[in-house]
Each structure stands twice: as structure tokens, then as C-alpha cells.
Amino acid sequence: MAVVGFDVDGGVGTIRLDRPPMNVINSEVTAGLRAAADEATRRTDVRAVIIYGGPKVFAAGADVKEMAPLDHAEILTWVTELTTTFEAVARIPKPVVAAVTGYALGGGLELALTADFRVFGDNVKAGQPEILLGIIPGAGGTQRLPRLIGVAKAKDLIFTGRQVRATEAKEIGLADRLVAPDDVYTEARSLVARFVDGPAVALRAAKRAIDDGLDSGLSEGLRLETSLFAGLFGTQDRRIGLDSFVERGPGKADFVGR
């Protein structure tokens, strides 16, 4: 049975981790995540994506037993593959939400950080506990976490390795929504539903402008924004959107995703 599944329903693709009991991330999970990210990126019938670990746990971290015996060269290959896989998830050119229950620790939290939004169950415990093993986060935690919650808060979590409960996660901006664990996936679908019939090319451009702009200087980001903005004037959705606004007012366009 596959440890990572990918299903599509109503324009929403779900990347499902399925390595019980804790969805620990090993090489097989990494390969499955990469394949799912590539499929979600490629398929035109996928308009939004949910990353889900099931009703009990999102992912309790990377597989320490797999990592422990590796030497320097081997661990470099291992963590590079994990990092590039998470980058592929982050680069899915569609809105992505992580639906998080139970534990999101270490590599599990790093996976959740690749999403555009995070829905947490109120039973979640999240953190970057790598420092307690004498190492540091190696798949994006030191980079994505401070960009999301701020440098000081990220250093607190990374330096101490402590876990935060769902309410604190919401307070510091790590979680966007809190719901009961049984409602996490439904809430995630509700969050992305607004994008399924949206202007897919414009959404892709907006995601790229924000994400790439944050990784560059302001002037470079503004040039990127200008280029992407102008490029959208070659799309069918741009004409539909502007014509609909003129004829019927805002928010009434029926986009086709081209």
C-alpha cells in the first residue's frame, strides 16, 4: 500500500500521508510526496491542494532510525532529497492548505510550512524539536518558520525545541484556523473551495509574485510583479474578468482557468 496517496475530487487534490501510526517521514514517504507534488502541479483538473495526514496525526517528524546510521555524505544526499521535495510541494502553482491534526513535529511541521494556509485541529502539538537531538531543522524550518511567524518567535521554538499547542500556534500565526480534529479536512476543503472556480492563471501568478518577491529585494520583487501583471493580459480569464466587471459589477465573473 502506498504511503502517500493523491486523489482528486471536485477540483481539489488531496495529498494524503498514510504511514501509520505517526506518518514518520522516511525515504519512501519523501518519494511519494515528490510524485504527488509533481502530479498536482501537472494536472489541469486540480485547482487547489490539501495536504492531510488523517484524523489522528499529520506527521510526527523525519525517520530518526533511518537517519541515525548515515554518514556525512549519506545524510547530505538524504536531506537534500527531502528539501527539494518540500520545495516541490511549496512550488505547486495552486493554493495549498495543510490540514493538520495531532502532531506536526520536525519534518512534519516543515511540510506544513510549505502550504499557503494551515488549518489546525485543536489537539495539535507543533514544534521543531531537532535541537534536542543535537541537530537543527534541515528541510526548511530555519527558513520558512521565521518568514511566517517572525525571527524571535522562530528562534524560541528552534532554540528550545519546545512544542506549542494549537491555541498558541494560532496566536503566533502558525495556524490560520482552529477547529475540532474531526472537522479539519472539511474546514480545509471549505477554505480552498473559493479558489476552485477562480482564475487559475492569475492565482498562479499571485502565488509566484508573493513567494519569489519575499526571497528578493523590493525593487526586484516589483519588477517581477509588473511582468506577471502584464502577462495576465494575454489570458482569457483577464478578458472575462474585466468584461464582467464592466457589465455586471465585481465578483460575478465565470472564469475558465485559461
Active-site residue 130, yes or no? yes
Active-site residue 66, yes or no? no
Torsion angle, alpha carbons of 225, 88, 42, 61, to 10: -130
* Cell numbers describing residue 189: 476543503
Active-site residue 104, yes or no? no
Choosing from 36, 37, 61, 110, which is the catalytic residue? Answer: 110
Choosing from 36, 40, 48, 62, which is the catalytic residue? Answer: 62
Active-site residue 110, yes or no? yes
Choosing from 53, 107, 198, 257, which is the catalytic residue? Answer: 107
The closest alpha carbon to 99, from 129, 56, 138, belongs to 56
Choosing from 112, 115, 130, 187, which is the catalytic residue? Answer: 130
Radius of gyration of the chain (CA): 19
Distance between CA 14 and CA 186 in Å, rounded? 12
Which amino acids are annotated catalytic?
62, 107, 110, 130
